[in-house]
Amino acid sequence: MVWRPCEVGRGQPDPGGMGCQPSMIRAQIMDQRTLAQLDIIREISNALTCARVDHWLFGGWAVDFAVGEMTRQHRDVDFVTWEVDLPRITELLRLLGYRARASQHPKHQLNWEKSGTEVQINLITQTTDGSLISPGTFSDWPWLEGSFGNHRGRIGDLDVPIVSPAGQLESKENFSKHPAGQPLRAKDLHDIKQLRTLTRSAQRE
C-alpha cells in the first residue's frame, strides 16, 4: 500500500492551519536552516495528525511556539510520541524521505534527517502506576503530570501540539541533576527564562 499525506482542509476545517502557507513565518525567517526546520515541523505534524498519531513538539522550538515567536536559533527539531506508535511513525518518516541516523539513546530517542535537517523522535510510555516515562536511560524520571495534553503553540499561521510549558520547564531545569544529564548550556538557560515567564503568566490567569 502506498501512503499519501491526507489533504487537510478538504471537506473539513483545518484545526492547525497546517495546510496553509506560513506567510507570516516566512517574513520572520533569519536563514534557510530556520525555514527548512519550520517546513519540517509542518510536514511531520501534518503527517502524524492525518495518521491520527499523537505527537508533541519538544525542545527549543516548542519553547518558541509556546512564546509565539522565534527567540533563538535551533540546531534540530524534536517531537515526543508514544512508544507504541513507533512502527507507524517509522513508516511515515521513511515514506516522506527521512533517513534514520545513529542514536546514543535508541531506547527512547530516534534520530532522523532530511535535506540536512536533523529530527529527534523522543518516546514515552505509561507505567503500571500511571506515570509517563521515557524508556531506557531516563526511565527513573517520570514526566510532570499534564505534560502531554491539548497544549498547542503557534508561530504565524503554523499551529502544532506542544509539550506543556510546565512540563518543558521541569525537564530543562532538572536535566543537569539526573545522573545521565549534562550541565546546562546557554541555550538551556535562555529557554528556562522564557518558560518561567510563561508559567508565571499562566499561574496569574
Residue 10 is assigned to a structural domain of this protein? no
Residue 92 is assigned to a structural domain of this protein? yes
Cβ neighbours of residue 172 closer than 8 Å, sequence gap 6 or more: 184, 188, 191, 192, 195
Total number of domains constituting the chain: 1
For 132, the domain range is 23-204
**Which CATH number do you get for residue 176?**
3.30.460.40
* Model confidence, pTM: 0.86
Residue 38 is assigned to a structural domain of this protein? yes
Residue 69 is assigned to a structural domain of this protein? yes
Q: What is the pLDDT of residue 10?
A: 34
DSSP letters along 21-49, please?
--HHHHTT--SHHHHHHHHHHHHHHHHHH
pLDDT in tens, 25-53: 444 546 899 999 999 999 999 999 999 99
Residue 138 is assigned to a structural domain of this protein? yes
